Structure 1
Amino acid sequence: MSSGLKISPQLRQKIDRELDLREKILWIGQPAPSLMILTGGTLAIALFAVPWTAFSVFWMWAALGFQLPNLSRGFQPQYLFAMFGLPFFLIGIGMLLSPFWSWRQAFQTVYIITNQRAITFEGAGKTTIRSYYPQQFNNLYRKEGNNGIGDVIIAAETTRDSDGDRQRRELGFFNIRDPREVEAILKKLVQEKR
């Protein structure tokens, strides 16, 4: 495996168990961690969290009468009222940390192309493993940014949300370095399997 990858021992064991004896790794990579912060709406969520969290702090502070609690007088009713703002504050902290969770997720994701298939491993504890075989590469395409980092879309799935509306989700390798090279390897794999 590449020395630049930061793969946990648990995830590496899962990768080793997943690969067949006749499979040879042609390419292995991970998402660029710095870009995971800016994708999936994490930046928008974090920006929304600023006023959300500030308002929850203001709410609790106002409920306390703009003063620190004095517990020497015992438990006052306004303390309970202030505590209603605590869940909103914790949600705000969670939203503020969403870029960190996305950055961390990049180190728990590994993309592999073997001489048989493409595989995604997502997560370290409970890992989601998806295999894509060459016959599934019919709609293979690439999205590339100016910085040379992009996505290689291997497949798409259509599901229905709770309202019954159709949702399309792209599957593949996201925020990878040199997506052109990855796309070329996948296209070559398709040609070899015909």
Structure 2
Amino acid sequence: MRSGERLLWSGQPDARRAMLKPFAFYLFAVPWTAFSLSWETIAVRMAFTGAPPLVGIIMTLFGLPFVVIGLAMMAAPFSANRTARRTIYGVTDHRLVELISGRTLKVRSVEASSIGPVTRRQRENGHGTLSIETGSHRDSEGDRTTDTFVFESISEVSRVETLVNRLRQTAAAA
């Protein structure tokens, strides 16, 4: 926090909900990884049995990246859960803040003057996601891309939307 800055709201994403988004990877990753491990088993057996060892070694090396990709896809939901548990969102009287702790602390903030249109997706229980447009830029192909700041899967999403809109109005009036 900066000197004189007041925290108006803080919260964390729902870690269980964070797992759902990459779960589609998990459903694809199981057969992918099973096939890759089967390939590796056959390749290793070929390297140590009657087949020319070079063929088995080449097949083993070819299959390794597929095993690694499969394991990474299977880990994606658990990684998202872990990241969500380490994430804290905040709304102050000057800016929006996201903190993600890990080996290093990642801090991302957006000044009130950069807050644009806000989109709220809300479930019946009051939890939801708030997407805040913060600007735009041109990507490497020259297409215009909108920059967003997202409070993912938070409780009291309508209350947070009200705070963000007030912050935007205050910045516009100043």
Normalising by structure 1, report the TM-score. Answer: 0.73
Q: Are residues 160 and 96 of structure 1, via their aligned partners in 2, closer, same or farther at CA, if it must alter by over 3 Å?
A: farther
Unaligned runs of 5+ in 1: 1-18
- Give the C-alpha shift of residue 178 in structure 1: 1.4
84, 88, 94: which is aligned to 1:116? Answer: 94
Q: Secondary structure at the match of 2:78?
A: helix
Greater shift in the superposed pair: 122-131 or 28-37: 122-131
Q: Distance in 1 between matches of 2:27 and 2:138?
A: 29
104, 107, 113: which is aligned to 2:82? Answer: 104
Partner of 1:85: 63
Partner of 2:2: 20
- Give the C-alpha shift of residue 77 in structure 1: 3.8
- Give the C-alpha shift of residue 94 in structure 1: 1.0
Q: Where has structure 1 moved over 6 Å in runs of 4 or more?
A: none
| Matched residues, number | 170
Q: Are residues 54 and 162 of structure 1, via their aligned partners in 2, closer, same or farther at CA, if it must alter by over 3 Å?
A: farther
Map 1:178-189; keep pairs closer than 5 Å.
178-189=156-167
The alignment-based identity, stated in percent, is: 32
Normalising by structure 2, report the TM-score. Answer: 0.80
- Give the C-alpha shift of residue 87 in structure 1: 2.3
Q: Are residues 99 and 26 of structure 1, via their aligned partners in 2, closer, same or farther at CA, if it must alter by over 3 Å?
A: same
Corresponding letter in the other structure for 1:59: W
Partner of 2:43: 63
Q: Distance in 1 between matches of 2:100 and 2:139?
A: 22
- Give the C-alpha shift of residue 110 in structure 1: 1.4
